[in-house]
Structure 1
Amino acid sequence: MQRRIINRADLDTLTKADLIVLSADSPGITELVNAHCVTTGQVWLNVCYVNDIAVWGPLVIPGVTGCWACQRLTARDSSGNTELDILVSRINSRYQSPSHGSTNMPAAALASLDVLKYLGGFGSVQSLNRKVGLWTHELRLDEQSSPRNPECPASGSMRASSKSSV
């Protein structure tokens, strides 16, 4: 089922889903979905693109894996350099990646494979505790590690869930 998510109430309609796949570029939506899923214990996966890089992950299993807030996975304000903070904020507020099928299709396919592996309980989920990118112009994989961070404000104090496994 496909749903348009604008606020927390929209997410509450998805509480019976086994897994939420987020493919959206609205400002703040990733943080909103992460907070909802960490709170409710719902598993979720981000899938997107960055220019010509097909990206999926991390697969977030609340209480088991890292979540979106555990690591810096996107450009954020620097810590302490006011001038750089302002520049990064300006760039992020106006930036919209171009979307094209040749990048979107591999991102969707590889994310779908991880969803099937997780829900079916077979194989290795490639986006577990990491964000994976396929550089389509070079056909190479890259990754950003996203392990569980005990200091994370969103999921750091959660105990491992007994119902979720990897």
Structure 2
Amino acid sequence: MKLVATFFGVGLLRPAPGTWGSLAALPVAYAILAFGGFWLLVNLTVFVFMSGWIATKEVTRGKEDHDPSYIVIDEVVGQWIALFPVGYGALMMGVSIDALWPGWIAAFVLFRVFDITKPWLVGRADARNDALGVMMDDVFAGFFAAIGVIALAAFAHLVLM
């Protein structure tokens, strides 16, 4: 279970294990999108969410700290959600995921900002102090980042071009 919770040991990297988890999620998402496309990423995100929830529950069972920094599977899920607009955009436009490189950067930066600052629903989920809260704060951060990616893409396409 610890192997899942740490995303194969990435969560043990220092400093800033959450950032390492988000960074590690990027090449994996790239491979998923390149191999199977947007819908595979969506399905694997759901699967990893469920696996991460179970692993987090097991790893933190009986411990005071409900969200130790080495658990980064939640960052992987949130980062993948933040990348949904990139994958979907490439699918809809029939372009390579490489062509949407600004979206990759925006998804990473926005996700980290929302995950670190924990505004509104992100903070409320984190305050649950349980395994579901650990996972859900990053789900919300990922969704907010995805909305930001969409807004930035709209701005770039409608205003800048």
Alignment TM-score, normalising by the size of structure 2: 0.36
Q: Hey, which of these two has a bigger chunk of strand by percent?
A: 1
Alignment TM-score, normalising by the size of structure 1: 0.35
Q: Hey, which of these two has a bigger chunk of helix by percent?
A: 2
